[in-house]
């Protein structure tokens, strides 16, 4: 069977996905489509390890670096933006490499997206207020009664997805996990190839540390200063970018640069571990 026109390329942060995608593009002339929720943001190309100017010139890149810092995209938003490129690849027009580390994007492609009714603003605000007032443990205890499947698979401190699960069950009376099982894949079986990068843990962690040092050396602090000048606030979604909260705290005088650097590296390694586990469990 000929190689499919769509390559899914996933894996943890710092695993070499950009280089692999560029190698693919050099051989196929195809389009590289971003599937990393943090690389959507415009203001932090260094901190999100976005392809640089030289890398971007080697192939056509789409869905990189356009989102403002106070805006958040859902998985559905990403899918709607990705569908034209997917359709073009499915019709044989342009090969497509969908590359990134946001596992939910890939789950949507191979398993489908739940058609969940729109959540009323009052319900959404109630879920967030519950988390902020009572804390994560309370929200998890609540979810464990209402949607144990979703609660068990969400990582620690994932406020966004914990609140999402809570608001869905409050709004619809049905668990998010139930909605997600009632789906159909966007990409039919055998219409794509799925490559997952699985580097050895020690080497991966070393690359995470080295890359963060390079980010600092090349101007990551200036990216944070620019965001501060633009009015960076605690509730902005861009603060989910690895390293950004720690460097912001340093620039506000709340910790030394060494402490910020070490904490950011630790959180990056932890995130890489969670990504590795997710891809291993969901796409074994």
Decide which of 196, 231, 252 is a domain's last residue: 196
- 116 pLDDT band (50/70/90 cuts)? confident
Q: Are residues 62 and 191 in the same domain?
A: yes
What digits encode the pLDDT tens for the residues 174-228? 999 998 887 889 999 889 999 999 999 999 999 999 999 999 999 999 999 999 9
* Domain identity same for 270 and 138: no
Note whether 81 and 149 are same-domain residues: no
Which of 169, 196, 223 is where one domain is finished?
196
Residues 10 and 95 both lie in one domain: yes
The secondary structure of 23-66, three-state, reads HHHHHHCCEEEECCCCCCECCCCCCCCCCCHHHHCCCEEECCCC
Q: Is the pLDDT of residue 2 over 60?
A: no
Positions at the binding site for substrate: 13-18
Residue of 76, 237, 102, 79 lying closest to 168 (CA atoms): 76
Write down the pLDDT at residue 1: 37
Instruction: Give me the number of domains the chain comprises.
Output: 3
- 1-14: average pLDDT: 86
- Is residue 265 domain-shared with residue 216, that is, in the same domain? yes
Structure letter (DSSP) for residue 67: B
Q: Render pLDDT for 136-182 as a digit per residue (tens, 0 to 9).
A: 999 999 999 999 999 998 888 889 889 999 999 999 999 999 988 87
Binding-site residue numbers for ATP are: 11-18
Whether residue 10 is found in the same domain as residue 53: yes
CATH of the domain at 228: 1.10.287.890
276 and 223 both lie in a single domain: yes
Query: Binding site residues, as ranges?
Result: 11-18
Span 81-100, pLDDT tens digits = 999 999 999 998 899 999 99
Q: Is there a domain that residue 1 lies in?
A: no
Looking at the structure, tell me whether residues 176 and 189 fall in a common domain: no
User: Is the pLDDT score of 245 beyond 70?
Assistant: yes
Structural domain including 90 reads: 6-114+184-196
Residues 65 and 90 in one domain: yes
Mean pLDDT of the chain: 95
Placement of tokens 């999402």 in the chain:
164
Q: Are residues 109 and 244 in the same domain?
A: no
Query: The domain that contains 60 carries what CATH number?
Result: 3.40.50.300
Domain match, 97 and 189 both: yes
Tell me which of 181, 213, 232 is where a domain ends.
181
């Amino acid at each position: 069977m000929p190689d499919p026109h769509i390559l899914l390329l996933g894996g943890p942060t710092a695993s070499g996905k950009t280089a692999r995608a560029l190698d693919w593009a050099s051989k196929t002339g195809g389009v590289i489509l971003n599937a990393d929720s943090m690389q959507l943001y415009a203001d932090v190309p260094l901190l999100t390890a976005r392809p640089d100017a030289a890398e971007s010139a080697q192939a056509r890149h789409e869905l990189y670096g356009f989102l403002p810092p106070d805006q958040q995209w859902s998985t559905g938003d990403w899918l709607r933006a990705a569908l034209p490129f997917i359709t073009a690849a499915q019709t044989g027009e342009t090969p497509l490499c969908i590359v990134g580390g946001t596992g939910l994007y890939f789950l949507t492609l191979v398993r489908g997206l739940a058609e969940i009714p729109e959540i009323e603003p009052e319900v959404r605000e109630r879920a967030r207020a519950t988390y902020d007032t009572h804390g994560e443990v309370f929200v998890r205890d609540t979810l464990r009664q209402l949607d144990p499947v979703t609660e068990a698979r969400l990582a620690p401190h994932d406020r966004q997805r914990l609140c999402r699960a809570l608001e869905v069950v409050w709004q619809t009376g049905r668990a998010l996990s139930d909605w997600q099982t009632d789906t159909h894949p966007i990409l039919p079986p055998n219409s794509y190839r799925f490559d997952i990068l699985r580097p050895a843990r020690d080497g991966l962690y070393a690359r995470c540390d080295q890359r963060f040092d390079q980010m600092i050396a090349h101007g990551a602090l200036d990216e944070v200063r620019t965001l501060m000048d633009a009015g960076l606030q605690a509730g902005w979604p861009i603060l989910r970018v690895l390293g950004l909260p720690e460097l912001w705290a340093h620039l506000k005088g709340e910790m030394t640069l060494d402490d910020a650097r070490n904490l950011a590296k630790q959180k990056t390694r932890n995130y890489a571990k969670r990504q590795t586990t997710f891809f291993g469990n969901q796409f074994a």
